[in-house]
Structure 1
C-alpha cells in the first residue's frame, strides 16, 4: 500500500514538473517576444516578470509539500491558467508585431535612415501551364507603374537577367489583375503588400492564381530622417479612396484629412480638406486642379501637393478604401454617431436601386460598416453639401478612435489584427508605430480631438488640369486664407507649445507669429471667384 502511494506521488510529481516546465518555456518565449518587440513599456515587463517569477517559485516549492486532493487540484488549475494567460499575451504580442510589419515594412535605423524589407512575387493564373520563369519566355508580363513603381522596376531588372519577355504597364494592380483574367498578360509582378491586399479585396483572386517565383529586397534610404514621435508633433495625411477594392489603386481621393498629432499635450487636430479644393497639382506642373485628382497620380503626389500648398511637412500617410471602412467598423461591432440629417445614399457598389439604398434618420445611433460608409459619402442634400460630408467624416473618425481606446477593444483586437494589413497602407515605419504605442501605454493619458473644417471658402467654376478643357469647367472649392491660417496656427502651436509665461498675441495682427500663407500668384483664393456659389 505504501509502495502504491509512493508511485502515485511520483506520477503526480512528474505531472507537476511537466506543467511547470511548460509554464517556464511559455514564459521565456512570451517575455522574449515582449522584450524584442518593444511595444510594452519596460517597467510593465519588469513587473510582469517579477509576478510570474514569484508565482513560478511558489508553485515549484509547493511540489515539496504534501497537499490534500483539493489543494493539488487548485495548484494545477492555477498553473494551467497562468500558462494559458502568459501564452495568450505572447501570442497577441507576436500577432501585433506581424500586423505592424505587414502594414509598414519600413524601420528607422539608429542613424535616422530607413530600411525597407519586402518580398515580390511573379503571379500567374492557377490553371495556366506555367510552372517557372522559363515557361514565361517571350510572353507578356504586367508591371504596375503607379504607387508601387519602384518595386516593379526592381523586379523588371531581375527578370530581364533571367528571361526575355514583353512588358505591359498599368496604373494599379486592379487593372493588371483584369489583364491577367482576360489573358492580356501571362503573369503579373507584384509586391507582397499589394498581393495580400488584392487577395483580401478581389473576389477569388488567391484561389485562381499561383506564385511561381519569389524575390526579396532590402532598401535603405539615407535621406529621410524621422522625428521622435513620442515627443515631437507630427502630421498624418489620411486618404480615403473614392472606390471599392484595394487601397493601392491610383484613383480619386474621396476623404482627405490631415491629423496634427501633439504627443506632449495628447491632442489631435483633425483638419478636413474639401475633395474639390482648387490648388496647384505638382503632377501637372503646378497647374490648378481639384485636390481629389492628385490621388490618380499616386499617394506621394497628394502628399507633395499638400506640403507645397500649406507649407507644412506631411510626415506620414495612411490610405484606406471603401472596403476598409466597412470592414473596420464591422470588426469593432459598429460605432455610435450623431447623424446630422435624414438622408438616403447609394450602397458601396454605387447602386441606387430601392433595395440597395441605405437610409438613415437624424440623431444619435449605432451604425454598421455600410451605414458608416453611406454617411461619410453623402453630400447631395441641399444645404448640407460637402461641408456636411466633411463633418460626418470627422464624426466617424472620432467614433472609431473612441471605440479603439475603449475597454471593449479587447474583444475584437484579434480580428482587427487579422484584417488591418489587408485594408490599410501607411509609410509610417513599423518601429515608429511600436515606439508611439509603447509611450502611450506608459503614460496612459486621455487624448482630446479638435476639428478644423474648411468651409469658409466658396465654390466656383474653373477648368481643372486633369480634365480636358473640351469637357468644360468644373465646380471647384476656392480656399479662404483664414481657414489656411487656422491649419497653420494649429500646427505652429502644437510644434512650439509655449509656456504660459511666454504666451502673447497682437490684437492688431493675430497672425503675426504664425507661418505665412502661401503667396504663389497662381493660387486662386475665394476672393478671386468668377462665379461664387
Structure 2
C-alpha cells in the first residue's frame, strides 16, 4: 500500500473517531438535560455539519488536512467535555432527590467494664430513650438481639443525661445512644469527660426515609406556581452529609422564578422555640436537627407559618476538600481574632485561607463579640468565597476531584428534573437574580430546654417577634411578585 493511501486511511479514521466522540458527547449532553431545546438542537446541527464536512473534505488533500486538524481539536475538546458532563450527571444523581437520613447508633459500657463484645454484654440491662429517636433505637435493639440470639433487657429514660447517670450509678450496664447527641453531652457541665468514661461495643448505621413534603393548607402564607421554598441546613460534623446532626445554619430560601427574586431568611441556631415534636416545650433551634432534618424544617415552618417544600443540606467539614482542591479561598473578616480550633490568626479585611483555616473561621463564635450572629455571617462568607472560586477557571483544573467532594458534602430533596428545569430556565433567559437577605433576632438569656430539661442555665435566644413578622412580610412580598431591596 502506498504511503499516500495509508495517510488517507488515517485521515478517514480520524474523521470516524470524531463522529463517534460527537455522538458520545450528544448522548451525555441529552442525558444531563440542562440545555433548552433550541440550544441543544443548534449544538446537534453544528456538530453534525462539522462531522460531515470532515468526511467529505477528506477527498481533497489540503482542505482534508485542515479539517483533520480541526477535527482532532474538536474531538479532544468534546472528549474532555464528555468526562465533565458524565461527572456532573453522576453528582446530580447522588445529591438530588435525597430522601434518606442516617442515624449512627452506639452501644456504650463503662470504660472499666469487662465486656469486650455484645456477647459479653448479653445479660446486661440496656438503657434507652423512651421517645426521642425511638425508631433508630428499636432497629439497633433488633440488630443486637439478632447478633446475640436473645432479647436484651431494657430500661427507658426520658432524656440522655438521666440515661448516662443510670450507666454511671449502675442502674443499667449498657446504653444505646445516637452519636448526634455526643457533642451536646460533652459541651454540658459535668459531662465533659463522658467519652473517657465509656467504651464502645457497637457502632451501627440506621438508615431511614425522610418524609416528602405535603402541602399544609393551614399555613397563613400561601405559595403559588411561580414560587418554591427551600430549607438550607448547614451542619458541622464529620462523615456523611445525610447523618443526623445539629444544624448550625438555618436559612429559608423563598424563590420566585418569575420575578427572579430570592429572599434568604436566617434564623439563629439558639432561637428558643417549640420544636415540631416537643408538644410545646421550647428548645434551641439547633437541637431540632438531633431528631432529623424534617424536625428542623417543620420547626421553621411553625415559626414563619410557611410551607417549606424542600431541603438543601451542606456539611462544612466537606468544604475542606473543595477549598484545598481550589487552591484556597479569600474571605473577608469584619474582625481580627484567633480561632479556637487550630489557633489561626484572622485579620480584618481579606484573608487567604486553606481548607482547615476556612473551616476554623466558619466555626468560630467564642472569639467574636457578636457570637453566633457573626458566625452565621462568616459561614455565609465562606460559602460565597467557594462559589466565587468555582465560578473561575480554577474549577477546570481539578474538576472531577471537586465534583467528588461536592457529592460528599451536599444533599437536597429537590427532584433532579426540577433542578434541570431551573438550569434550563436560567440558560434560556440569562436574567440576573435579585438576592435579598434578612435575619430574625432576639435577646439572650439562660433556660432549660426540651433536649436537656435538667439544665436550666443553657444559653438561648428569646425571639424578637417583630423581626419574625418583618420576615413574614418580606416573604409575602416575594410570593406576590413585588421587588424588594432591603
Matches of 1:56 and 1:369, distance apart in 2: 45
Give SS of 2:48's match. helix
**Paired residue for 2:87?**
95
Residues 183/10 of structure 1: CA separation in 2 closer, same or farther (3 Å cut): farther
Of 399, 416, 431, 1:445 maps to 431
Q: Contact between 1:272 and 1:394, CA under 8 Å: does it hold in 2?
A: no
Q: Contact between 1:346 and 1:357, CA under 8 Å: does it hold in 2?
A: yes
Q: Contact between 1:33 and 1:93, CA under 8 Å: does it hold in 2?
A: yes
Give SS of 1:318's match. strand
Residues 173/258 of structure 1: CA separation in 2 closer, same or farther (3 Å cut): closer
1:130-529 matched pairs, under 5 angstroms: 171=178, 184-185=201-202, 224=214, 232-347=226-341, 356-381=342-367, 383-406=369-392, 408-455=394-441, 457-469=442-454, 471-498=455-482
Residues 183/21 of structure 1: CA separation in 2 closer, same or farther (3 Å cut): farther
Structure 1 position 315, deviation (Å)? 1.8
Structure 1 position 407, deviation (Å)? 5.5
**Paired residue for 1:37?**
32
Structure 1 position 76, deviation (Å)? 2.7
Matches of 1:482 and 1:381, distance apart in 2: 29
Structure 1 position 221, deviation (Å)? 8.7
Q: Does 1:64 align with 2:59?
A: yes
Matches of 1:499 and 1:387, distance apart in 2: 26
Structure 1 position 20, deviation (Å)? 1.6
Give SS of 2:475's match. helix
Matches of 2:213 and 2:178, distance apart in 1: 27
Q: Contact between 1:240 and 1:254, CA under 8 Å: does it hold in 2?
A: yes
Matches of 2:89 and 2:228, distance apart in 1: 23
Q: Contact between 1:146 and 1:170, CA under 8 Å: does it hold in 2?
A: no
Residues 250/221 of structure 1: CA separation in 2 closer, same or farther (3 Å cut): closer
**Paired residue for 2:108?**
none
Matches of 2:210 and 2:452, distance apart in 1: 37
Matches of 1:146 and 1:17, distance apart in 2: 69
Matches of 2:132 and 2:68, distance apart in 1: 58
Matches of 2:372 and 2:210, distance apart in 1: 41
Q: Contact between 1:146 and 1:298, CA under 8 Å: does it hold in 2?
A: no
Structure 1 position 146, deviation (Å)? 9.6
Q: Contact between 2:317 and 2:359, CA under 8 Å: does it hold in 1?
A: no
Structure 1 position 237, deviation (Å)? 1.8
Matches of 1:148 and 1:316, distance apart in 2: 25
Residues 382/498 of structure 1: CA separation in 2 closer, same or farther (3 Å cut): closer
Structure 1 position 233, deviation (Å)? 2.3
Give SS of 1:253's match. coil
Give SS of 2:61's match. coil
TM-score, with length taken from structure 1:
0.67
Structure 1 position 224, deviation (Å)? 4.6
Residues 496/59 of structure 1: CA separation in 2 closer, same or farther (3 Å cut): same
Matches of 1:374 and 1:245, distance apart in 2: 17
Give SS of 1:284's match. coil
Q: Contact between 1:303 and 1:314, CA under 8 Å: does it hold in 2?
A: yes
Structure 1 gap segments, 5+ residues each? 107-115, 119-138, 195-218, 348-355, 501-533
TM-score, with length taken from structure 2:
0.73
Q: Does 1:80 align with 2:72?
A: yes
Matches of 1:442 and 1:171, distance apart in 2: 47
**Paired residue for 2:113?**
none
Residues 382/394 of structure 1: CA separation in 2 closer, same or farther (3 Å cut): closer
Structure 1 position 362, deviation (Å)? 0.7
Moved more, 375-384 or 8-17: 375-384
Structure 1 position 12, deviation (Å)? 2.0
Q: Contact between 1:238 and 1:256, CA under 8 Å: does it hold in 2?
A: yes
Structure 1 position 406, deviation (Å)? 4.5
Of 18, 29, 41, 1:23 maps to 18
Give SS of 1:283's match. coil
Give SS of 1:245's match. coil
Matches of 1:46 and 1:284, distance apart in 2: 54
Residues 268/280 of structure 1: CA separation in 2 closer, same or farther (3 Å cut): same
Structure 1 position 498, deviation (Å)? 4.4
Residues 258/220 of structure 1: CA separation in 2 closer, same or farther (3 Å cut): closer
Give SS of 2:373's match. helix
Matches of 1:78 and 1:165, distance apart in 2: 72
Give aligned pairs, total.
417
Structure 1 position 102, deviation (Å)? 0.9
**Paired residue for 1:520?**
none
Question: Cα RMSD (Å) of the superposition?
Answer: 4.1
Structure 1 position 281, deviation (Å)? 1.0
Q: Contact between 2:236 and 2:317, CA under 8 Å: does it hold in 1?
A: no
Matches of 1:117 and 1:56, distance apart in 2: 45
